[in-house]
Structure 1
């Protein structure tokens, strides 16, 4: 089996080949390392490596497979871990000069569970500085380029994971999502990203334990590989008060959801968020293909409330909690994006915070009303085609100026506010020839149902070359000038909403 074919296999087929003795974990790891050595220099998706330990662990996994006693369902499978997540003995920088020599003593609990299932932590995946922003570039490791065109962004903050999966460097990777950090890069790179309900994957290191705006989740190249990973990471932890202990086999046998029986809603702009005309047209073409094949496919009004202002406040309180003290103590160790986010958090009051939590509750109830009778709601994942990574963020969409640098992520962060599951599926290419992501929202705690629907939808999309998952032509990769590891930092645009102003109306900078 040649290296290109081997690294392109779905994770579950790799594991099946281990079980049959047709492929060993050591041989598979060698194929991944060979691919990484050729491709990663062009896209800079993977940063710190634990190669020596991985080689030893692959050999041990091979012995267990030969003995018919694998450690767990992922035994011998190489894993990429987002550089915001601690890995014992492996550099975890968060993309920040403050942590450029950080060697954690222990794993993040999610990572520990993946190791316990047999996964081999091979490398860290690149992120924006401290996860802030939808463009994966930082002063420690530099920028990550898109496998479809290394001059373009991979999104963020799980950008390194998405790029590594799209380029077949690794079979599975971890991510996290506040305002779209899983979904955005997955869509931009043509893979699957899943934001679980707040209670599914325990996040015991979350600074604000009672706020579910930030979640951990899996990333993979298809839905079944994602479910394979989810089976090992869904669990409860006493230090995460929002996590719930579900049956261990919750995701083992998802219900079959025939396409013709699905009832779907759709919205092209999530209640009026700016969307590029080409992206809007691409999305509506997908709806035209889907609608005749399902039981129902109807437009849904997704104007759920003051979603932008709510997200601004909830996100800012998290940044302020995590970084206010460190930024005051060592301001020179933080970039302009972090300073801007902390400064924004300082502008909000306790009254603002109380209003935001009450409004988020109203938004959830409005979303629940929209979901009545539907299996999922479909939306675009990203409002623009990928832009050059040298640009810090999107400044304008279809004539609308972005009042805050992350406002272009509204299609994903508005979905975070319900606390429910969201997934993005690759659905062909946009008008510029780059991957197009189809986002699906499900009911709070309806993860089983949404994943079952997503698996059905993925199978349908894969039948048509126009909507099937696109693959990058890695033979065409060329070095980008300036080098991917050099970045120019620009202060982001961050303006707090004006008191008394309609918080859903964007104003020019």
Structure 2
């Protein structure tokens, strides 16, 4: 069958396979982009993942991408692949709202560095993905576009802040995505949507423009449906840039290497609750229990163990509050009445910080770094849940309790992700199981400082052994289908 006659086949091919097929001219960039635009038209009304669409621009760029291949020109590794960028990342000439009515009509005049790198690698911008207001929290809802719904259960949250990206990937609206992660914003939506998200090491993906270029609590990174596609996207996003003072010197090309590796003998620590530091709902731990057998069957040595994360909570909450005030304090002064209560609270928490508070956080983080470093002298990997809960009711601002423990703020239920952010370690969310109700649950794979490739290889081995990420959401299967003739008439 011609791939054009089977758009689902195109929309759910891996990014690596799709890019190779475009380069071989087995399928055109225009056909690929058209198939994804039709998938958006069919499925997006139900999930609300992509909130700004530039279809005509994308088709024009696809035609130019095809023309470049006619002359056998050298092209980038993402040539012809459609991507919708996170609505926190500036896109030149395309509305970027940050999920806030304050910025609802904002059109930047330059691309963020992650957008620039994706486009330079040949990716074609098709639009923007939904985020929480100002990217705050792991539940994607805002007053500009409304909520993004979980494609596995439309009454549930898609997570956040890269929730639109996660849902769009799960529904075949794009093969790769860019995102960002402070307290879990690449990992939580990956877990909630049965896709893959990597929080890279600080400095692995340079950021520009950036109000806090020396900060390490927030990072940019990739999402996709497979670990291989996350690594492919990271190969484009990673590498030094003079505009980012913390950018690591390792070239991104190392992440384009094959991920197949022998994981036998790896020493793997498992800690479902980080040594009692976080409550976890029983259905999460039940869904993840088989993952331990998978690693054992792969030849790993799995033990119950956890690093001492004392002080990690204070480190994260202090640095996040300081960052929120730095980024949006002036906006609060002018537009308080247009900002959600949780956003106002977090900015004001930053305003209450003193110099000694910031200094104490740095001392705690130094101690934390060395304890975690020493832990990884005994273990190669740390495994734990990505999220303490399964996707929750979309009407909630955040879970009110986890395993009977009240959650007082919109951040509390994210501790299993944000405590890892404070360590500075790379962390991967990989599909690992489903609850009896069909809700996805992700496994968090953490490695030693700057060992992003080792984390990707371990996640790839687990993924190949389980194939959990291949389960498609009901929102895709039940959407109204167009006939082939109808689709051709729109191309």
Secondary structure, in 3 states, of the residue corresponding to 1:12?
helix
Matched with 1:482 is none
In structure 2, the residue matched to 1:207 is: 211
- CA-CA distance at 1:256 after TM superposition: 4.1
Against the structure 1 CA distance between its residues 211 and 148, is the aligned structure 2 distance closer, same or farther, given a 3 Å change threshold?
Answer: same
| Distance in 2 between residues matched to 1:105 and 1:468, nearest whole Å | 37
1:371 alignment partner in structure 2: 376
What is the 5 A alignment of 1:177-256?
177-254=181-258, 256=260
User: Offset at 1:307?
Assistant: 1.9
Shift of 1:8: 0.9
Name which of structure 1's ranges 77-86 and 3-12 shifts more when overlaid on structure 2: 3-12
Residue number in structure 1 paired with 2:489: none
Answering whether residue 275 of structure 2 is matched by residue 274 of structure 1, we say no
**3-state DSSP of counterpart to 1:251:** helix
Q: Is the 8 A contact 1:174 1:219 kept in 2?
A: yes
Residue 314 (structure 2) pairs with residue 313 (structure 1): no
Matching residue of 1:447? 452
Among candidates 327, 331, 334, match of residue 336 of structure 2: 331
Q: 1:420 maps to which residue?
A: 425
Asked if residue 298 in structure 1 is aligned to residue 299 in structure 2, the reply is no
Q: What RMSD in Å do the two structures reach over aligned CA positions?
A: 1.7
Deviation (angstroms), 1:248: 4.8
SS in 1 for 2:393: coil
Partner of 1:74: 78
Where does structure 1 differ by over 6 angstroms across 4 or more consecutive aligned residues?
none
| Candidates 166, 172, 184, aligned match of 2:176 | 172
> CA separation in 1, counterparts of 2:469 and 2:479?
25
TM-score (normalizing by structure 1): 0.90
Whole-angstrom distance in 1 between the partners of 2:145 and 2:274: 34
1:151 and 1:389 in contact (8 A); partners too:
yes
* Superposed CA offset, 1:336-374 (max 9, x none): 221111122222222111111111111111111211142
1:84 aligns to 2:85 (yes or no): no
Equivalent pair of 2:342/2:410 in contact (CA under 8 Å): no
1:267–1:4 distance in 2 versus 1, CA, 3 Å: same
Distance 1:397 1:76 in 2: 43
Query: 1:108 offset after TM fit, Å?
Result: 0.2
Q: Quick one: structure 1 residues 54 and 3, their matched pair in 2 at CA, closer, same or farther if it must change by over 3 Å?
A: same
Which of residues 134, 148, 166 in structure 2 aligns to 1:144? 148
| 1:92, distance to aligned residue in structure 2 (A) | 0.2
Partner of 1:470: 471
CA distance in 1, matches of 2:358, 2:45: 44
Once the two structures are overlaid, the 10-residue window that deviates more, 50-59 or 427-436, is 427-436
Match of 1:119 in 2: 123
Mapped contact 2:42–2:479 kept (Cα < 8 A):
no
Change (3 A) 1:417 1:405: same
Q: Distance in 1 between matches of 2:437 and 2:414?
A: 19
Structure 2 CA distance, aligned partners of 1:377 and 1:390? 33
2:310–2:368 CA contact under 8 A, matched in 1: yes
Closer, same or farther: CA 376–176 of 1 in aligned 2, 3 Å: same
Residue 428 of structure 1 contacts residue 470 of structure 1 at CA under 8 Å; is this kept in 2? Answer: no
Distance 2:260 2:391 in 1: 34
Supply the distance in 1 between the matched residues of 2:458 and 2:252 (Cα, whole angstroms).
21
TM superposition shift of 1:386: 0.8
State the secondary structure of the residue aligned to 2:154: coil
Change (3 A) 1:274 1:478: farther
CA distance in 1, matches of 2:471, 2:383: 20
What CA distance in whole angstroms lies between the structure 2 residues aligned with 1:476 and 1:231?
32
| Residue 192 of structure 1: how far off its partner (Å) | 0.3
Q: Please, which runs of 5 or more residues in structure 1 have no aligned partner?
A: 480-509
1:477 deviation in Å?
4.7
The structure with the greater share of residues assigned to helix is 2
1:128 to 119, 125, 132: 132
Q: CA deviation at 1:286?
A: 1.9
Q: Deviations over 1:445-494 (max 9, x none)?
A: 111222122212211122xxxx4543212356589xxxxxxxxxxxxxxx
372-381 vs 115-124, which moves further: 372-381
Alpha-carbon contact 1:147-1:163 (below 8 Å) kept: yes
Q: Distance in 2 between matches of 1:347 and 1:396?
A: 27
Q: In structure 2, how many angstroms separate the alpha carbons of the residues matched to 1:20 and 1:256?
A: 24
- Residue-pair matches, total: 475
Can you give the 5+ residue segments of structure 2 that lack an aligned partner in the other structure?
481-491
8 Å CA contact 2:153–2:474 kept in 1: the answer is: no
In the alignment, is the contact (CA less than 8 A) between 1:197 and 1:420 conserved in 2? yes
**More displaced 10-residue stretch of structure 1: 249-258 or 302-311:** 249-258
Structure 1, 32-41 or 307-316: larger mean CA deviation: 307-316
Q: Describe the shift of the 1:306–1:431 C-alpha distance in structure 2 as closer, same or farther (beyond 3 A).
A: farther
Mapped contact 2:288–2:385 kept (Cα < 8 A): yes
TM-score of the aligned structures, taking structure 2 as reference length: 0.93
